[in-house]
Every structure is written in structure tokens, then in C-alpha cells.
Amino acid sequence: MTWYERRASCRWSAEAALRWWMRGSAALAGGLVVLVLAFVLAEALPLLLRVGGGRLFTDASWQPTAGRFGIGPLVWGTLLVAGGAVALAAPLGIASAVFVHFYAPQALVRPYRRAVELLAGIPSVVYGLWALVVLVPLLARLRPPGTCLLAGMLVLAVMVLPTVALFADASLARLPPELWRGAAALGLGRWATVRAVALPAARAGLAAGVLLAAVRAVGETMAVLMVCGNVIAVPADGLAPVRALTAHIALEMGYAAGEHRAALFATGLVLLAMVGALVGAVHLFGRRGHHA
Amino acid sequence: MASSRARPMLSERGAAGSGPAVEAPPPGAPRCSPAAAAALPPLGPPPLAVRELQVAFAGRPVLEGLTLALPAGRVSAIVGPSGAGKTTLLSCFNRLTELLPDCQVRGSVRVGEQEVLQPRCDVVALRRRVGMIFQRPNPFPFSIRKNLVLPLREHGVRGREELQARVERALRAVGLWEEVRERLEAPASTLSGGQQQRLCIARAIALEPQVLLFDEPTAALDPLAAGVIEDLIAGMRGRYTIAVVTHDLGQARRLADHLAVLWPERGIGRLVEAGPAARVFDRPRHPVAAAYLAGRRWDGGATGGG
């Protein structure tokens, strides 16, 4: 064996080790997801098989110890809080990215980006605390106690705003510079370029950002639990209290046992399905973006 | 096909866009508003001219002392080695230099009677009058139809039939209509490179410009597609004033009525020779131009006849 062959075979074995290490990591990551899913399924399945999954949505109330497992109002709660938050955050986040890309003075761009990144890093309990001290008393002036759907929507909107903004920023940055030159050479002004060229061209990335913000909003627990009031009912208006799926699990898991516990796992399964659908939508948009 | 229809459109837009300038034209000053241009007696495409042009990036000059006239309705080729400032010169005619950070342009740049560098110049109207095609085809990431409709809409063209007619006319003008008429809604990215470049030319001429600037329009294309583009440019002679930047001297010889040779001297581009293409190619007066056009490397005159 010549020195070259020895080195080559040595390199090969190092490469093989690396390859196996990577395979192992990938398997671990994938395996954990499957394991979590399997565990939740295993915990929820006995109940679902016995009473039927449909009962989660058809039962009129949530009294798990009395055999009533209706989580319909909780699903509504999550949809309203998260949907409202995303509806508020999406236009603001996209506007923020457009500002930083096309209109911000050069000196402001870096500090602005850092600030948005910082906003993304603030723990949700801090947002919750701030909302509880500042936002809820303001809303309580309209109607006590102030912990309500609107409070949840607003605090969640602030929390997912950076997700939308950073994704929109990145997808605008990915657009090729030829696009700007082409638009300018055709006599398109800045606003026309933004509206008619940049935003439509970046639409796949923008949609992905909004959907990921929705994933975050649906999954958010702490802040929502702190400011929403947590009454199990479909809210009549924005100032009525509401309970989200996540808050529901967090509130009751401490003392749940037996079928109650299984029903909470079933709730978790519904939450997982919602997040799964959103993630699927992200990939759908991503793929369409590549074709466009 | 374009000029007779272009002028009423331009005058409408120009009157709306730069009203005050039309009401009180400064005596003697070169007028810039397209409305003023439209008020002149009908004429063909305008000549291009620069005088004592200096372009600098962040204070560092890249073009200096450039005085050059490109005849109306003719194809002018601008040649020279990389770094001679050819593209920069081209970008002065539609003020695309504004996109470059820290770029200062001084001197005079004229499109016909229009003084381009004047701050009052309506850049939107200017860029409508002066179209530009780039080295790499840059269609918008939308459908073929939307690529043409979008700039038209932004320039105030309304009505389905009017838009459809303009789309068809522009695509016919670049020989693309028969190839894409069945798939106007397909993404422009599904076209071949040469087709994309023709779409970009169609997009520019859909706005009915008078001047077309080509920045190495065939450099990114295979020889066959390049030949199609070249024929297209040749066929536009007379209808537009055309300036083509090219590294392909054969292309310059085939296309150009007028030739300008730029040369970088210590990093600063200067004009070394300009004139009718046949004369400059056959009997160049400047040794640098002679060497470049003959394909010889210029060694600064150390051994050459300069």
C-alpha cells in the first residue's frame, strides 16, 4: 500500500465515520418526532377508540370526569386568537420589511434589523407579563376584567410580528438585483416597484413567513394563558374571555388523571394536526415559489 | 411602428407629470419635459450626445472628459476592454446611474433636446423614452403576458383590448408571438435564454420608446440565439436610436453604423476614437483603437507605433 493509498483509505474511513454520525443525528431528530407523535397517540387512542374522535367536537361541554369531552370552543379560541394575531401581524410585518428594504435611511437599517431580531428573542412570559400589566388594565376600562380575546390577539400579534418581518426581509433580500434594474429601466418608481414587482415576486416567501407565524401563534402558550381569561366558551366579542388549546392543556395537566388525562392528550393531538396542516401549507407554498 | 403612437401618450403623461415645467420654460434652457418634446414638429428618433461627461464612484472617476455624439436612428456600437466604462456611459442616457451607490455624474447628457442630468428631468418619462436591455435576460418572475402588461399598466395604459393589442404587437416585433401565443400565461422563466432576452426587448419596446440601449445583449446567449437578437437589432435601424455595448468586435462590425472606442487609462475610461463604423474599423486614427480593433494587445506604446 503506497502512502497515497493509505491516506486515501484513511480519508475514506473519516468520511465514513462522519457519514454515519450524520445519519445517526438525522435518525435521532426524525425518530424523536415520531416518538413524540406515537406517545401522544398512544395516550389519546384508548379514549378516542372508546368514545369516538368525533365526540371531541360534538360534545356540548368540557366535563371530562363526567364523560363530556367537547373542545369545540377551545378550537375556536385558538383559531380566533391566532388568526387575529396573524391578520394583524402580517401586514405590519411585511410593511416593516418593505420599509427596511426600500425606504429606511441607510443609518437606520442595521439598528432596525437588530431591534426586530431582539423582538423575536424576548421570552413569551415577558410579553405576557407586559400585557398583563399594561394591556389588560387598558382593556379593563372598556370592560372588566380585561383578560380577553383581544388582549390575546394583540400580545400574540406583537410576538409573531418579528417572524413575519424577518421572513419577509429575507425573501425580499433573495430577489435578484436584476429585478430592480429591470424595473427602474422601465421607468417604474419605487412604490410601483415594491407593489407590482417586489411583493408579487417574493410572494412565496411572504406566504411562508405568514404561515410560520401562524404556527408560532397556534403553539404559543404562556402569554395566551396569562391574558386571555381562559373561560371555555366561544367568545361573543373581542372583549369576552377565551381559552386556547395550548392554555387548556397547560392549565389542566397538573391535576388530570385517567380519561381526563387522555382527553388532554387528544387535545394535544388536535393541536398537532393544526400545526401539521400549517407546516404542510408552508411547504406547498415553498414548492410553488420555486416553480414561479 | 412606435413613434407616431408614442407621442400622444407621452404628451398626456408628461403634461400630468410635470405641469409647472411646461407653463414656464426657462428661456434658452434645454427643455426636459416630454410635453415640450411632443410640441416640437414630428421627427424620428432623437440623437444622443454627451459633452465633457465625468462619472465618479465615491469620488473616484471612472469616466472622464467624454464628448461623443451618436446619430439619430442609427445603430452605434460602444466597444473597449472591460473597465473602460462602457456600461456606465450607457447608464447615463436613462439615468440608471442613480441606482449605483455614491455615483456622481457631471457634464451634459442629451437625448434629443432633453438635458438628462437636469434635476427637473422627469426620470419616469425619460426611461419610458429610453429603453434598456441588459446582458443577462431579466424578465420578471411572472407570466409572459404579465411581463409586458405590468410596465404598460404602470405607465397608465388601460383597457383589455388596448393592452392585448400592445402585447401582441410587441411580441410580433421581436418574432416571439408565434412561439408563445399559446402559452402567454406560462411563467417567463420557462422560455429559453434567447426567448427571454427577446421578451425583455419586447417589454422595452411595448412602451414605445425612441431610444434603445443594449448592454452586451448577446453575451449570455448561445451563438444561434445571439444571431437572432443581432438580426432583431439590425431590423430596428431607423425606428430607434440604438446604442449597443459589446465585446464582440464581429458583432460591432456587422451591426454598427457608428463606432465609439473607449479605453481605460489608469482606471479611468476615456474616448479614444469615434466615427462612422466603416471608417473607424478600416482606418482607425488612434493607435490604441487600431490595436484594439485589430485584436492586438496594447502595451502602452512602448513597442507599438504610438
CATH code at position A261: 1.10.3720.10
Q: Decide: A264 and A200 in contact? Cβ < 8 Å.
A: no
Asked whether residue A66 is assigned to any structural domain, the reply reads: no
Chain A residues within 8 A of B204 when measuring between CB atoms: 185-186
Same structural domain, A159 and A243: yes
- Which A positions 137-156 lie with beta carbon below 8 A of chain B? none
Same domain, yes or no: A178 and A225: yes
- CA of A202 to nearest chain B CA: how many angstroms apart? 9
Distance from CA of A111 to the nearest CA of B (A): 20
Contact B99 A184 (CB under 8 A): yes
C-alpha cell at A271: 393541536
d(CA B194, CA A215): 43
User: Which residue of B lies nearest to A196 if distances are taken between CA atoms?
Assistant: B150
- The verdict on A173 and A204 lying in the same domain is yes
Looking at the fold, whether A109 and A10 belong to one and the same domain comes out as: no
pLDDT class for B181, splitting at 50, 70, 90? very high
CA of B196, closest CA in chain A: separation in Å?
13
- pLDDT band at residue B12, thresholds of 50, 70 and 90? very low
Q: How confident is the model at residue A15 (pLDDT cuts 50, 70, 90)?
A: confident
**Residue B43: what pLDDT?**
61
Q: How do residues B107-155 score in pLDDT, each as one tens digit? A: 999 999 999 999 899 999 999 999 999 999 999 999 999 999 999 999 9
Whether A85 has a pLDDT exceeding 60, the answer reads yes
Neighbours of A93 (CB within 10 A): 27
Q: Which of B138, B139, B155 sits opposite A187 (nearest CB)?
A: B155
Per DSSP (E only), the strands in B58-203 are: 60-70, 75-79, 103-111, 114-115, 130-133
A32 and A141 share a domain?
A: no
Using CA atoms, how far apart are residues A239 and A229, in angstroms rounded to an integer?
10
Q: Residue A33: inside a domain, yes or no?
A: yes
Query: Which residues in chain A have Cβ-Cβ distances shorter than 8 Å to B94?
Result: 185
**Quick one: average pLDDT of A178-194?**
92
Out of A180, A181, A292, whose CB is closest to B141?
Answer: A292
Task: For residue B162, give the DSSP letter.
Answer: H
Residues of A in contact with B203 (CB under 8 A): 186
A240-272 per-position pLDDT tens digit:
999 999 999 999 999 998 899 999 999 999 999
Please answer yes or no on whether B99 and A182 come within 8 Å at the CB atom: no
* A192 and A80 co-located in one domain: yes
Q: B100: pLDDT confidence band, cut at 50, 70 and 90? A: confident
pTM over 0.90: no
Q: Is the pLDDT of residue A103 over 50?
A: yes
Share of chain A above pLDDT 70, in %: 93
Interface probe with A: pick from B122, B128, B130, B140, most Cβ of A within 10 Å: B140
Q: Which amino acid type is present at position B206?
A: A
Query: Would you call B154 and A184 a contact, using CB atoms and an 8 Å cutoff?
Result: no
In this prediction, residue B221 has a pLDDT band, given cuts at 50, 70 and 90, of: very high
| Torsion sign (Cα): B56, B61, B67, B73 | negative
List the beta bridge partners of residue B105. Answer: B55
Q: Is A190 on the interface with B (CB under 8 A)?
A: no
As separate numbers, helices (DSSP H) first and strands (DSSP E) second, chain B gives 13, 10
Smallest CA–CA distance, residue A106 to chain B, in Å, is: 11
**pLDDT at residue A8, rounded to an integer:** 63
Q: Give residue A33's domain range.
A: 3-51
What is the domain count for chain A?
A: 2
Same domain, A196 and A116: yes
Please report whether residue A140 resides in a domain: yes
Q: Is residue A198 part of a domain?
A: yes
All residues of chain B having their beta carbon less than 8 Å from the beta carbon of residue A188 are: 124, 151, 154
Average pLDDT rounded to a whole number, residues A90-106: 94
Instruction: Grade residue A71 by pLDDT with cuts at 50, 70 and 90.
Output: very high
Q: Does A60 map to a domain?
A: no
Test the A interface: residue of B147, B154, B210, B211 with most A CBs within 10 Å: B154
The least confident of A132-141, A220-229, B71-80, B293-302 is B293-302
A176:B138 CB<8 A: yes
Average pLDDT over residues A269-279: 93
Question: Does residue A4 register a pLDDT over 80?
Answer: no
Which run of H or E residues covers position B13?
Answer: helix B3-17
Domain identity same for A129 and A249? yes
Same domain flag for A17 and A125: no
What pLDDT does B44 receive?
Answer: 81
Mean of the pLDDT values across residues B83-99?
93
Domains of chain B (ranges; CATH) run 11-19+44-139+212-293 (3.40.50.300)
pLDDT of residue B296: 85
* B7: confidence class by pLDDT, cuts 50, 70, 90: very low
Regarding whether A246 and A145 lie in a shared domain, the answer is yes
Q: Determine what percent of chain B is predicted with pLDDT higher than 90.
A: 77
Residues of B in contact with A189 (CB under 8 A): 124
Please state, in angstroms and as integers, the Cα–Cα distance from residue B118 to each residue in B33, B39, B105, B111, B277, following that order. 11, 20, 11, 12, 31
Task: Answer yes or no: do A112 and A237 share one domain.
Answer: yes
The reported pLDDT for the residue numbered B224 is 93
With bands split at pLDDT 50, 70 and 90, how would you rate the model's confidence at A2? low
CB-based contact B189 A292, cutoff 8 Å: yes
Local confidence band at B10 (pLDDT 50, 70, 90 cut-offs):
very low
Least confident of A186-200, B9-23, B59-73, B123-137: B9-23
Q: Are residues A44 and A115 in the same domain?
A: no
Best of B103, B146, B150, B213 to disrupt the A interface (most A CBs within 10 Å) is B150
Tell me if A64 is assigned to some domain. no
Q: What is the mean pLDDT of residues B271-276?
A: 95
Tell me which chain A residue has its CA closest to the CA of residue B144: A292
Span B219-241, average pLDDT: 94
Do B53 and B115 form a contact (C-beta atoms < 8 A)? no
Cβ of B296: how many Cβ atoms within 10 Å?
10
Helical (H) or strand (E) element with A85? helix A72-98
pLDDT in tens, B248-262: 999 999 999 999 999
Q: Is residue A61 part of a domain?
A: no
When mean pLDDT is compared across A59-68, A107-116, A214-223, B294-303, the lowest value belongs to: B294-303
User: Whole-number mean pLDDT of chain A?
Assistant: 91
> Inter-chain contact B134–A196, Cβ cutoff 8 Å?
no
Within a domain: residue A63?
A: no
Among the partner-chain residues A178, A196, A200, the one whose CB lies closest to the CB of B138 is A178
